[in-house]
Amino acid sequence: MPKKHVVGRKRARSLGLFTAAGLLLSLAVGQSATAQISDSDLRASSIDGQTAKVTVVSGMPVRYYEAGEGEPLILLHGGRRSVFNSANMWARNISGLAERFHVYAVDRLGYGLSGMREDGDFRYAAEVEFLDDFVVAMGLERVNLAGNSSGGALALEYGMAHPEKVITLTVVAVGPQTEFFEKPKGDVMREACGAVGGQMGWGCWMSAMTHPEDSFDRAFWEASQHMMSLPSRQAIAAAQLTAPAEEPDFWVNRRAEWRRGGVHGLPILWACGSHDVLDWAAEEESASLKGCIAFSHTLGANNPNLKTIIYNQAGHFPYREYPDLFNNDLISFIDYWGNRRER
């Protein structure tokens, strides 16, 4: 089992593992503000039999789940700025994956109960730095990464920046890096849900992106609403609205780089849902999976170590919609590459 330790780094202001009770954590929102992440907040934010933990990485609070022993596996949720998402997205998968791996599901920079940088930077370079600080804080040398949507893009960016620290990459569902049709059906649904507004609008949008109706249960919504109600979370969400954005051609350049460099030949599992509304043109009666197939070609053009899986009757969250099936596929993929290394 990896041993957690404190590591000195130029960009790390403080690093270490703490108990949550009475811990005061500095959150930078314009100017530094102090917020308390209490045991009660951690309990209220935890679901599916998991109990969230908190650590401090580079002066920021980081909420995460940890379970199991064995090879490290970090799970990265998706989401867009100012839209609430957290490690709870992976809660249905943790117990099953923990039978094989040492699992970490982490609230990304500025999401869930994790904090934000003092410079207010939420761009992918900042997220890669944040994730690497978390890897170091947990005492991990090499990891498997699995990310959904924008979390998948983060996994790819981390693999590009730190290939020596990555064993395998798993990317689930089309994220913000797609431009395969003028308007996806998901945008139509987002606009309709936006008219509802607030937390109800967010719940409407999340439900619209799933295919099985029971993908998000009451416990998920209650935990999410509790975190969203906290002043520290609301302050960060407000800061995200005015934070620096990526350059206009960022995704075009990143796709070209992923294609050209093959993400250093790292083993990649690319998974799509057959009914993902973000990969479904507004005018189409059924999804054509243009983004899924095109992105498979992007990742595999110069990387022979790519595997593509399409989950039938699944939306944007196939790992959550069919957790047992997804867990089995992920374990099999990582074990295959592990066996190849041992030959």
> What are the tens digits of pLDDT across the range 108-124?
999 999 999 999 999 99
- Domain at 267, CATH number: 3.40.50.1820
282 or 12: whose pLDDT is higher? 282
Q: Is residue 7 part of a domain?
A: no
Of the chain, the percentage scoring pLDDT greater than 90 comes to: 66
Q: Is residue 27 part of a domain?
A: yes
Q: Is residue 104 part of a domain?
A: yes
Mean of the per-residue pLDDT values of the chain: 86
Count of domains forming the chain: 1
Start-to-end C-alpha separation, the chain = 23
pLDDT of residue 18: 31
Q: Is residue 2 part of a domain?
A: no
The structure tokens listed for 123 are 């761009």
Q: Is residue 20 part of a domain?
A: yes
With a CB cutoff of 8 Å and minimum separation 6, the contacts of 285 are none
Minimum mean pLDDT among 60-69, 172-181, 292-301, 306-315: which range?
A: 172-181
**Neighbouring-strand partners of residue 66:** 104
Q: Please give the average per-residue pLDDT across 129-155, as a whole number.
A: 97
Q: Is residue 56 part of a domain?
A: yes
Of the chain, the percentage scoring pLDDT greater than 70 comes to: 86
> What is the spatial distance between Cα 111 and Cα 148, in angstroms, rounded to a whole number?
14
13 or 153: whose pLDDT is higher? 153
pLDDT of residue 180: 67
Q: Please give the average per-residue pLDDT across 24-37, as a whole number.
A: 41
> What are the tens digits of pLDDT across the range 161-205?
999 999 999 999 976 555 667 788 888 888 888 776 677 888 888
* Domain that includes residue 132, residue range: 15-342
pLDDT of residue 34: 34
Q: Is residue 8 part of a domain?
A: no
> What is the spatial distance between Cα 222 and Cα 243, in angstroms, rounded to a whole number?
28
- 3-state class percentages of the chain: helix first, strand second, coil last, to nearest 5: 45, 20, 35
pLDDT of residue 179: 64
> What are the tens digits of pLDDT across the range 80-96?
876 789 999 999 999 99
pLDDT of residue 12: 35
Beta strands in 107-205 (DSSP E): 143-148, 166-172
Q: Is residue 10 part of a domain?
A: no
pLDDT of residue 40: 93
pTM summary value: 0.89
pLDDT of residue 330: 98
